[in-house]
Amino acid sequence: MNKSMNAQAEPTKKSRAISNTFMRLLKLGKPYFGWYLILCILAAIVSLAAVGIAESLRRIINAATNKDLSSLISGAIIAIVIITVEASANFLKTYLSGVLEFKSTSKLQVSVLSRLLNVQMKDLDRYHSGDLISRINDSATAAQQGINQKTIDLFSNLMQITFLLTYLLSLQYALTLGMLLICSLVPLVMLPFSSRLRSMHEQRQHIETTQQMFIQDTVQGAEVVRTFSLAPKLQQQFTGRVMKYLKIHLPVSRLEAVAYNMPLAVILGGLLYVLSYGGYLVIHGRLDVGAVAAFLVCFEQIANPVSKLANLWTELQGSLAQGKRLFEVLDLQKEGVRRDSNGKDLHLGTSTNTNQAVSGLYPISFNNVGFGYGNDQVLTNVNLTIQPGKVTALAGPSGSGKSTLLQLILSSYEPNEGTIHSGNLLLNSIPHRSWRSNLAYVSQESYLFSGTLYENIAWGRPDATTEDIIAAAQSAGIHEFIMTTPHQYETFIGERGLTLSGGERQRLSIARAFVRKPKLLLLDEPTAALDSHNEEIIGQALQELMHDRTTVVVAHRLSTIRNADHIYYMEAGSIVEEGTHLELMDLKGKYYTMVETTLNNDDKTTAVMEEVQ
Amino acid sequence: MNITESKELKLGNVLRRLMSYARPYRIGFIVALLLLSARLVMDVGIAAVQQVFIDTINSSNMDALTRITVICAIVCVIIIFCLMLQHYFRFVIQSRMAWDIRGKLFGKSNRLPFQQVQSMHSGDLTSRNNQDAGIAIGMINSIVYDLGYNLLLCFISFLYLAKTDVWLALLALGSGPLVFLSGRFFDRRLRKLSTEIYAKEAELRGILQETLQGMAVVRAFSLEEILLDKYALEREKLRRMQLRRSLLNGLLWQSSAFINNIIMITCAALIALSALKGGTTAGGVLAFIILMGRVQWPFVHMSQTWGSVQEALGASDRVFAILDSPDEGNDHASPKPGVLPVISDEVAALQIQNVHYSYSSNKSNESPLFTGINVHIQHGETIAVVGPSGSGKTTLIRLCCGLYEPSAGSISVYGKSIFDQLEEARAMITYVPQSPYLFSGTIRDNIAYSSSTATDEEIEQAARLAGAEEFISKLPNGYDTLLGEHGSTLSGGQRQRIAIARAFLRNAPLLLLDEATSALDNESERMVQESLDLLMKDRTTLVIAHRLSTVREASRIIVLDQGAIVEEGTHDSLLERNGLYAQLYNIQFNASEQEGNPVDELTATFPA
């Protein structure tokens, strides 16, 4: 948003941005140059055929006026041959342009998704998933098709014009030149409107996308929508957005109504010119009637390409607006590529070093780490060390930055200040893929994919065998449940596993972590919503999983915190106390207060309750 | 599930229903149709004018030429102006109609039975609204304007042509349908293929949606490549289908055009032959050839338009499949404001009578969850539901909200039946689900969603009661802070407090609570608990309890196991009974005591 605003404020910047978008749009077309060439040649054949048809019609008419039967027959035969050629060339052209369109857009869409899968989480957080989907589905398609179509138009129209011009110029040059002038001047009237058109296209697409996000949110929140009877209110908002859309759509339609009728204006104007001026020439004996007829037939053939050429820039505005949206996401920074070049040791990590770093044998250390989302500072000056093979617990009030810290270890985010090391390697210098291949992350809210139960566990390690999967399910205490479902491991679970209960979802996501056999385990305390029986099983299983593994757990329950080897107590983004449970209790600081208030408070409730009873 | 396999509707039926969306804009629609006559004048007139010109030229009359030129120029300007207006009206109305049907679809998707929504991917439903609805409306427009216009053009051109030569005109007209009918060979295939394409596009949207929304998990488990491959694979399938469609379209278009061209040349040769024998003038020949095209080409265009109609039918099938599926409940009149039922002790706050329910609608492979469950809750009671995972606690609450429809039995809230007076019954209920769902938008909007008339003071009051005021005031824009998708910019505890604030503002007498406070840290859990206690005060509450204090406070506890109520009573009486409840209780607290710690009651959890 900011970018576009700045761009609008400063005209020079703006034009540079346009030409930049334009150049990049051109680049999208570069790999398909061969295709364009073939399609242009086909277009040339089609337009040559048009000349041929015009010529044969001229012969037929002249034959009729001169009463010459043999030339009539030859004209008809030529026409039939040409029509056959034209039909097959036209078919090839339609088909091949379809092939090109689908090939290029599907390739672009896949590459946009692949880029999105690799950009920094921090950047990605700013976009609604509905917005991103619209950029992949709508913008990528529109941009790619725009450049394909317009490039082919440009070349084939130029070719058509060349052919027809040579033909027509040989008939009568004054008539031809006048026609050309009319064809190109009229559409040029639209040029001043083009930039306005583009910005309106942008706004309209923006509203359309907002509406898509809104629809997606509403559909996904079906439960809340129903129980709170939100439907009337949401409908109202929907209508409000439509009004906003129409407010821009109306002027766009007005401009488009004019733009799209420009070629027609050209044709009518040109026809009049040919008929009146051509007639004038005939009357003065400088042209034969057959030539005027040929002009008339050729006229649409030449008027179309010329007016299209002149209108090309105007028509490209929609694609440019979509291209801008596309390039915005394509330009997002990739993970693991740091902009600042001051850290020379960034890319020292050789593969052996990397292997050592991810082996889980080295401590992970935070040095003066600071992090924030936008203006919102979440972590400040964090120093901590996670010892290998030990359980480190993070405790503290809600919003103190515990989960964010976990995300930093995951290297989902990069710290704004300070450094994170694994052993003596900078975390940033280790390829994200290899770093993450050694860790398993269990989030607070389990996220599942639609698919079978088996697939959902197998996401943890793609090469896992069936035995591994079942073992993991057993360890996570979900195996028995799976066996009671209709198709057992092949049972299909709906979108995000919403057909399962919360506990089942959580156990599945734990099984997913089990099957991964990680060296480093990151837990955002998940056991809380499980029932006691399963919790016991999982408690043991997690103990087993934690054995000999480095574990970082965002702990909410006193029992988890107490069992940890080392505790960091966080408040407002900083670590205020650290040590073992006993040490921290002795300290009688904030941790102590937290533990005491928790217990006291509960005692009080109990006492009150007992009194009542 | 039947909704995902949309059945093919009769064409006439589809058209009639789509046309009904044009009713509010009939004036504009008619104006656009009338303006279309400008195009008719132009298309027919060009041939006539050309003939006049050529004949004038042949008669070498310079004055007449000038006069005709001026008249034609004026007419042209008028025509172009009319056509611009026509274009404007047509597309503005088309977009309005599209938004209308999308609005209707949107409303409908909010009224579909919840179970059906759950069985569909949200990406599918979204895609039907975003894409298919627009395509369907585009079709009705292309039928009315393009097909209708071309048909009319054929007719008028025929009349004109018949004046010149009746037999040739008949030949041209007769061959037209041939062109059109030759294209019908492709119809069924196009329609079927298009339905498949739209379904595949919806599926791709689903994949994208899941991948993008689950990005944190995708990254942590390095699923990038697998998911990308999955997307690329499905996209490739889509590409193949699209290619097949473009092959079909290419065949359809070019075969029509080719047949048409052949006929045209034949006719041209024939009329030239008749001119040769002195039947017509050269100008007549030219006009005839051009007019021939006017009679013929509409058939080609019609044939091609018909092809796209078949494509669009695939989309409209998908739209109507949603619009035609039944609403949830039986009544959709919104509750009249202020007319709340009398809350007295005689009317049960919640009455569940002999309810049967099974997850899958086909009863073959899964045993039903509930077989005749009965619950009776008096006004002012607090009932806790306890039971092992999968025992049906959440399903019970969803049944009470009318989210699921029981196969037998009845449920009523303060005397309002869930089936017959769904919206009125829901007005009496506040449901706080386990994981709060927030919308993108401001915090204020998210709290105020539950009430259409809330003032700022009321919103702030609700936030205060929910213990959310403190963190909201710390946010850069306070109540106007924009939340990310699903409230992703807030922590779990903060999201929960906003959901509770929503419940406060709603102020309904019956509270259904799916307790999830145990996923919070102690500090915010205490705050959330305090506000929940406040919320439960003076309200009838049915709570899925995980915490001991909740259970103890409850006036009655219901123990669920495998869809049946196995025990019922107060905390103490159930402990004495030494059944499942006592068992659940002991597992938790013995485990804690074995660690040699005082009972950590606040964090003690009961089954999920």
CATH number, domain at B154? 1.20.1560.10
Same domain, A404 and A304: no
Q: Is the pLDDT of residue A361 over 50?
A: yes
Same domain, A512 and A529: no
Query: Each residue of A6-33: pLDDT tens digit?
Result: 433 444 455 556 667 788 888 888 888 8
| Structure-token match 């242009």, residue found | A40
Closest residue in A to B333 (Cα) is A232
Identify the helix (H) or strand (E) that includes residue B567: strand B564-569
Q: What is the DSSP string of A44-87?
A: HHHHHHHHHHHHHHHHHHHHHHHT-HHHHHHHHHHHHHHHHHHH
Mark which of B279, B307, B323 sits at the end of a domain: B323
Q: Taking CB atoms and an 8 Å limit, are A562 and B518 in contact across chains?
A: no
Mark which of A517, A552, A571 sits at the end of a domain: A517
How big, in percent rounded to 5, are the helix, strand and coil portions of chain A? Answer: 70, 10, 20
Of residues A282, A407, A594, nearest to B57 (C-beta): A282
Q: Which long-range contacts (CB under 8 A, 24 or more apart) does A430-434 make?
A: A430/A349, A430/A354, A430/A357, A430/A358, A431/A336, A431/A349, A431/A354, A432/A335, A432/A336, A432/B219, A433/B222, A434/A354, A434/A355, A434/A358
Does any domain span residue B154? Answer: yes
Same domain, B226 and B317: yes
Closest residue in B to A373 (Cα) is B489
Same domain, B241 and B377: no
Q: First-to-last CA distance in chain B?
A: 28
- Other beta carbons less than 10 A from residue A178's beta carbon: 16
Q: Taking CB atoms and an 8 Å limit, are A61 and B285 in contact across chains?
A: yes
Q: Which of B171, B149, B151, B234 is nearest to B199 (CA)?
A: B234
Decide: A450 and A496 in contact? Cβ < 8 Å.
yes
SS3 A145: helix
C-alpha dihedral sign at A424, A428, A430, A432: positive
Q: How far is B270 from chain A (nearest CA, A)?
A: 10
Count of domains forming chain A: 3
Q: Taking CB atoms and an 8 Å limit, are A98 and B249 in contact across chains?
A: yes
What pLDDT, on the 0 to 100 scale, is given for residue A606?
A: 44
Of residues B84, B122, B223, nearest to A216 (C-beta): B122
Does any domain span residue A40? Answer: yes
Give the angle subtended at the CA of A564 by the CAs of A558 and A568, to the nearest 5°. 85
Q: Is the pLDDT of residue B132 over 50?
A: yes
CB-based contact (8 Å) between B258 and chain A?
A: yes
Tokens of B587: 């597992």
Span of A172-181, A325-334, A595-604, B178-187 with lowest mean pLDDT: A595-604
Same domain, A412 and A557: yes
Q: How far is B355 from chain A (nearest CA, A)?
A: 20
Span of A318-332, A527-541, B107-121, B361-375 with lowest mean pLDDT: A527-541
Distance CA A42, CA B8 (A): 38
Does any domain span residue B608? Answer: no
Q: Which of B523, B527, B589 to mutate to test the interface with A (most CBs of A within 10 A)?
A: B523
Window 147-186 of B: residues touching A by CB (8 A cutoff) are: none
Q: Which CATH number belongs to the domain containing residue B550 in this structure?
A: 3.40.50.300
Tokens of B89: 């009206």
Span of A44-58, A101-115, A533-547, B371-385 with lowest mean pLDDT: A533-547
Find chain A residues with C-beta within 8 A of B506's C-beta. Answer: 228
Same domain, B388 and B312: no
Look up the ipTM and state it: 0.74
Q: Is the pLDDT of residue B460 over 60?
A: yes
Helical segments of A412-529, H only: 432-436, 453-458, 466-475, 479-484, 502-516
Closest residue in A to B78 (Cα) is A265
- Residue B55 — very low, low, confident or very high, per pLDDT cuts 50/70/90? confident
Query: Each residue of B575-588: pLDDT tens digit?
Result: 888 888 887 777 65
Percent of chain B with pLDDT over 90: 0
Using a 10 angstrom Cβ sphere, with 0-12 exposed, 13-18 middle and 19 or more buried, the burial of residue B595 is exposed
CB-based contact (8 Å) between B559 and chain A?
A: no
Closest residue in A to B506 (Cα) is A228
Same domain, A77 and A144: yes
Of residues A91, A271, A407, nearest to B250 (C-beta): A91
Q: Which CATH number belongs to the domain containing residue A571 in this structure?
A: 3.40.50.300
What pLDDT, on the 0 to 100 scale, is given for residue A356?
A: 63
Of residues B111, B494, B588, nearest to A398 (C-beta): B494
DSSP state at residue B364: S
Same domain, A591 and A529: yes
Query: Each residue of A253-278: pLDDT tens digit?
Result: 888 888 777 777 877 888 888 888 88
Distance CA A395, CA B108 (A): 46
What pLDDT, on the 0 to 100 scale, is given for residue A568?
A: 86
Same domain, A496 and A366: no
Q: Taking CB atoms and an 8 Å limit, are B216 and A130 in contact across chains?
A: no
Q: Taking CB atoms and an 8 Å limit, are A117 and B253 in contact across chains?
A: no
Closest residue in B to A409 (Cα) is B220
Decide: A515 and A468 in contact? Cβ < 8 Å.
yes
- Residue B340 — very low, low, confident or very high, per pLDDT cuts 50/70/90? low
Q: Is the pLDDT of residue A251 over 80?
A: yes
Find chain A residues with C-beta within 8 A of B83's C-beta. Answer: 261, 264
Same domain, B130 and B61: yes
What pLDDT, on the 0 to 100 scale, is given for residue B551?
A: 77
Same domain, B242 and B368: no
Same domain, B394 and B314: no
Q: Which of A118, A220, A434, A553 to mutate to test the interface with B (most CBs of B within 10 A)?
A: A220
Find chain A residues with C-beta within 8 A of B592's C-beta. Answer: 559
Find chain B residues with C-beta within 8 A of A573's C-beta. Answer: none
Same domain, B151 and B259: yes
Distance CA B474, CA B459 (A): 17
Q: How far is B10 from chain A (nearest CA, A)?
A: 29
Window 342-401 of B: residues touching A by CB (8 A cutoff) are: 359-360, 365-366, 388-390, 394, 398, 401
Of residues B60, B403, B608, nearest to A531 (C-beta): B608
Q: Taking CB atoms and an 8 Å limit, are B389 and A534 in contact across chains?
A: yes
Q: Which of B304, B453, B485 to mutate to test the interface with A (most CBs of A within 10 A)?
A: B485
Tokens of A328: 């915005």
Q: Which domain holds residue B291?
A: 11-323
Q: Which of B389, B486, B507 to mutate to test the interface with A (most CBs of A within 10 A)?
A: B389
What pLDDT, on the 0 to 100 scale, is given for residue B450?
A: 67
Backbone angles phi, psi at B450, to 5 degrees: -80, -10
- Other beta carbons less than 10 A from residue A487's beta carbon: 12
What pLDDT, on the 0 to 100 scale, is given for residue B593?
A: 42
Tokens of B40: 């008719």
Find chain B residues with C-beta within 8 A of A402's C-beta. Answer: 521
Does any domain span residue B68? Answer: yes
State the average pLDDT for chain B: 76
CB-based contact (8 Å) between B83 and chain A?
A: yes
Q: Which residue has the higher pLDDT, B409 or B5?
A: B409
- Other beta carbons less than 10 A from residue A491's beta carbon: 15
Does any domain span residue A533? Answer: yes
Distance CA B322, CA B132 (A): 11
Mean pLDDT of B338-355: 68
Q: First-to-last CA distance in chain A?
A: 61
CB-based contact (8 Å) between B330 and chain A?
A: no
Of residues B57, B84, B552, nearest to A292 (C-beta): B57
Same domain, A98 and A185: yes
Give the gyration radius of chain A's Cα atoms. 35
Q: How far is B568 from chain A (nearest CA, A)?
A: 18
Same domain, B360 and B280: no
Contacts of A362 (CB under 8 A, 6+ apart): A356, A388, A422, A423, A424
What pLDDT, on the 0 to 100 scale, is given for residue A15?
A: 54
Q: Taking CB atoms and an 8 Å limit, are B484 and A125 in contact across chains?
A: yes
What pLDDT, on the 0 to 100 scale, is given for residue B280?
A: 65
Using a 10 angstrom Cβ sphere, with 0-12 exposed, 13-18 middle and 19 or more buried, the burial of residue A23 is exposed
Does any domain span residue A372? Answer: yes
- Residue A36 — very low, low, confident or very high, per pLDDT cuts 50/70/90? confident
Q: Which one-letter amino acid corresponds to residue A557?
A: R
B98: Cα separation from own chain's centroid = 12
Q: Taking CB atoms and an 8 Å limit, are A462 and B485 in contact across chains?
A: no
Contacts of A34 (CB under 8 A, 6+ apart): none
Tokens of B138: 């585009």
Q: Taking CB atoms and an 8 Å limit, are B215 and A239 in contact across chains?
A: no
Same domain, A386 and A273: no
Give the angle subtended at the CA of A143 by the CAs of B208 and B132, to the nearest 5°. 55
Q: Is the pLDDT of residue B597 over 60?
A: no
Give the angle subtended at the CA of B124 by the CAs of B107 and B399, to the nearest 5°. 60
Q: Where does B481-537 show beta strands of DSSP type E?
A: 482-483, 510-514
Does any domain span residue A347? Answer: no
Mark which of A458, A487, A517 sits at the end of a domain: A517
Same domain, B274 and B137: yes
Distance CA A338, CA A415 (A): 11
Q: Is the pLDDT of residue B595 over 50?
A: no
| Structure-token match 């078919």, residue found | A91
Q: Is the pLDDT of residue B524 over 70?
A: no
Distance CA A254, CA B336 (A): 43
Q: Taking CB atoms and an 8 Å limit, are A280 and B62 in contact across chains?
A: yes
Q: Which of A131, A129, A509 is nearest to B486 (CA)?
A: A129
Does any domain span residue A340? Answer: no
Find chain B residues with C-beta within 8 A of A403's C-beta. Answer: 491
Decide: A578 and A417 in contact? Cβ < 8 Å.
no
- Residue B363 — very low, low, confident or very high, per pLDDT cuts 50/70/90? very low
Q: Where does A277-433 show beta strands of DSSP type E?
A: 364-373, 376-386, 391-395, 417-422, 425-426
Q: Is the pLDDT of residue B406 over 70?
A: yes
Tokens of B468: 């959310």
Strands across the sheet containing A425-426:
A376-386, A364-373, A417-422, A425-426
Q: Which domain holds residue A82?
A: 16-330
Q: Which one-letter amino acid corresponds to residue B302?
A: M
Cα-based distances in Å from A398 to A190, A248, A395, A568, B49: 58, 44, 9, 14, 82
Decide: A115 and A332 in contact? Cβ < 8 Å.
yes
Count of domains forming chain B: 2
Q: Which of B281, B108, B155, B130 is nearest to B206 (CA)?
A: B130
Does any domain span residue A405? Answer: yes
Cα-based distances in Å from A356 to A387, A521, B151: 15, 17, 77
Query: Each residue of A444-488: pLDDT tens digit?
Result: 777 777 778 887 888 777 787 888 888 888 877 788 778 877 778
Cβ-Cβ pairs closer than 8 A, A with B, add up to 494
Does any domain span residue B125? Answer: yes
Does any domain span residue B293? Answer: yes
Same domain, A317 and A205: yes
Q: Which residue has the higher pLDDT, A297 or B580?
A: B580
Mean pLDDT of B224-248: 84
Same domain, A217 and A318: yes
Mean pLDDT of B541-558: 79
Does any domain span residue B495? Answer: yes
How big, in percent rounded to 5, are the helix, strand and coil portions of chain B? Answer: 65, 10, 25
Q: Taking CB atoms and an 8 Å limit, are B107 and A235 in contact across chains?
A: yes
Of residues B222, B525, B553, nearest to A436 (C-beta): B222
Distance CA B116, CA B299 (A): 44
Same domain, B314 and B359: no
Q: Is the pLDDT of residue B41 over 80?
A: yes
Q: How far is A13 from chain B (nearest CA, A)?
A: 30
Q: How far is B7 from chain A (nearest CA, A)?
A: 23
What pLDDT, on the 0 to 100 scale, is given for residue A531?
A: 54
Task: Taking each helix axis as running N to C, give the angle between helix B282-324 and helix A289-330, from 0 to 180 degrees, rounded to the nearest 10.
Answer: 30
Same domain, A513 and A531: no
Predicted model pTM: 0.73
Mean pLDDT of B263-269: 75
Does any domain span residue A344? Answer: no
Does any domain span residue B6? Answer: no
Tokens of A610: 């007992």
Mean pLDDT of B2-6: 47
Contacts of B458 (CB under 8 A, 6+ apart): B451, B505
- Residue B608 — very low, low, confident or very high, per pLDDT cuts 50/70/90? very low
Q: Which of A545, A516, A541, A514 is nearest to A530 (CA)?
A: A541
CB-based contact (8 Å) between B536 and chain A?
A: no
Of residues A261, A441, A606, nearest to B83 (C-beta): A261
Query: Each residue of B166-220: pLDDT tens digit?
Result: 776 777 677 777 777 777 777 778 888 888 888 888 888 888 887 777 777 777 6
Same domain, A247 and A312: yes
Q: Which CATH number belongs to the domain containing residue A102 in this structure?
A: 1.20.1560.10
What pLDDT, on the 0 to 100 scale, is given for residue B409?
A: 83
- Residue B72 — very low, low, confident or very high, per pLDDT cuts 50/70/90? confident
Mark which of A489, A517, A545 sits at the end of a domain: A517
Cα-based distances in Å from A272 to A266, A311, A441, B287: 10, 21, 75, 16
Does any domain span residue B261? Answer: yes
Q: How far is A458 from chain B (nearest CA, A)?
A: 11
Closest residue in B to A403 (Cα) is B491
Does any domain span residue A289? Answer: yes
Mean pLDDT of A486-512: 76
Mean pLDDT of A129-156: 83
Same domain, B356 and B319: no
